């Protein structure tokens, strides 16, 4: 199966030239493209926010909504197009589908898919994110088939059993507190033969597994964040009752979490990973799993 080509900004053409300039800039204690920044030796990765429960999780993403920091890892429109291409490649949305977007944020994925589906429901733990999604919906013509609601992915109390054709979760699963409960709820609301599609960071990514720990840099935005590798994710899906699990690497570079030089070097590793078919160099994990269809009843003799 062929998958979507990464956006152009994932691996800039001028990366070698920029890397040389970036090295010189960092030697003076500044990040590329800025006037001043703490020296390289003082960088310790992303700030990790303590999270004890869903209230803390909601508060964090409400702050993200208030500050407009929802997308930090590259050009928003290019990344959106790339992610949507992955959805279409693996999950294949249909005009008759009712689609549930878990951790929908400001609703950009569902808004883009709206013309291709029957109906869409966006769920997010953050009222601030849902407010932004509804504002975008009001200004988007031809999107009357969408609805955005505050909700808990672990419970999905407002979603009826076997009412969803396709559930998607893009860039949110690693933040969800009880992943087993989330998958059980998704399985409950999917129709027989329904699909669950997820894009998430890969715990086996060389950045998370090796480079950042060696540098002593934090990679978690929330203390409760937990990334999974392919085997762990597949095992959870299997335990939740999903079948026919497909997975593939995708280009994920945490540009918003690292200095520009590091992001450029990770882009080079991603290019090598695509050529060498090394998932550990790619950063992201794409999965699509199916709920088993009802068995066909034999016709009476």
Which letter does DSSP use for residue 210 in this model?
A: I
- Is residue 204 scored above 50 in pLDDT? yes
pLDDT band at 291 (very low <50, low <70, confident <90, very high): very high
Q: What is the pLDDT of residue 41?
A: 52
Query: Is 105:137 a contact under the CB 8 Å cutoff?
Result: no
- Euclidean distance between CA atoms 61 and 126, whole angstroms: 6
Least confident of 19-33, 169-183, 221-235, 237-251: 19-33
Q: Which residue has the higher pLDDT, 216 or 40?
A: 216
Neighbours of 299 (CB within 10 A): 5
pLDDT at 167: 99
Contact 240, 183 (CB under 8 A): yes
Calculate what percentage of the chain has a pLDDT beyond 70. Answer: 81
Q: How many residues does the chain have?
A: 301
Report which of 43, 44, 46, 22 is spatially closest to residue 33, judged by C-alpha positions. 22
Query: Could you say which DSSP state residue 108 is in?
Result: H
Instruction: Calculate mean pLDDT across residues 233-259.
Output: 95
Burial class (CB in 10 A: 0-12, 13-18, 19+), 297: exposed
pLDDT of residue 9: 44
Q: Are 224 and 51 in contact (CB under 8 A)?
A: yes
Q: What is the mean pLDDT of residues 3-19?
A: 44
Per residue in 13-63, pLDDT (tens digit) is: 443 344 334 333 333 333 333 334 444 556 678 899 999 999 999 999 999
Q: 46 near 221, Cβ under 8 Å?
A: yes
Q: What is the pTM of this model?
A: 0.84
pLDDT given for residue 74 in this prediction: 65
Short-list 3, 7, 84, 63, CA closest to 255:
7
Residue 273 tokens, joined: 């990973």
Partners of residue 197 on adjacent β-strands: 168, 288
pLDDT at 180: 98
Going by DSSP bridges, is the β-strand pair 283-291/190-201 parallel, antiparallel, or unpaired? antiparallel
Q: Write down the pLDDT at residue 38.
A: 44
**Domain annotation for the chain: domains and CATH numbers:** 8-291 (3.40.50.150)
Instruction: Kindly tell me the burial class for residue 296, based on how many C-beta atoms sit within 10 Å of its own C-beta (0-12, 13-18, 19 or more).
Output: exposed
């Amino acid at each position: 199966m062929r998958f979507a080509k990464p956006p152009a900004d994932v691996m800039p053409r001028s990366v070698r030239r920029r890397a040389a300039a970036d090295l010189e800039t960092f030697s003076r204690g500044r990040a590329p493209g800025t006037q001043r920044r703490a020296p390289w030796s003082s960088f310790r990765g992303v700030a990790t926010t303590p999270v004890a429960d869903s209230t803390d999780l909601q508060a964090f993403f409400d702050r993200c909504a208030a500050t407009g920091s929802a997308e930090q890892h590259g050009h928003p429109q290019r990344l959106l197009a790339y992610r949507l291409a992955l959805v279409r490649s693996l999950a294949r949305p249909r005009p008759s589908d009712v689609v549930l977007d878990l951790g929908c944020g400001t609703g950009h994925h569902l808004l883009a898919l709206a013309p291709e589906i029957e109906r869409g429901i966006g769920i997010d733990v953050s009222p601030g994110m849902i407010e932004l999604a509804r504002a975008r919906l009001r200004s988007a013509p031809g999107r009357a088939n969408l609805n955005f609601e505050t909700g808990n992915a672990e419970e999905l109390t407002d979603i009826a059993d076997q009412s969803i054709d396709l559930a998607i979760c893009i860039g949110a699963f690693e933040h969800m507190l009880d992943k087993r409960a989330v998958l059980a709820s998704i399985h409950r609301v999917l129709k027989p033969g329904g699909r669950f599609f997820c894009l998430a960071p890969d715990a086996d990514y060389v950045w998370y597994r090796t480079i950042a720990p060696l540098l002593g840099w934090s990679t978690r935005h929330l203390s409760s964040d937990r990334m999974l590798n392919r085997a762990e994710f597949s095992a959870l899906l299997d335990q939740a009752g999903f079948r026919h699990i497909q997975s593939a690497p995708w280009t994920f570079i945490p540009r918003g979490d690292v200095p520009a030089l590091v992001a450029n070097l990770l882009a080079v590793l991603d290019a090598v990973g695509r050529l060498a078919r090394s998932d550990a160099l790619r950063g992201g994990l794409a999965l699509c799993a199916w709920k088993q269809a009802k068995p066909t009843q034999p016709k009476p003799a």
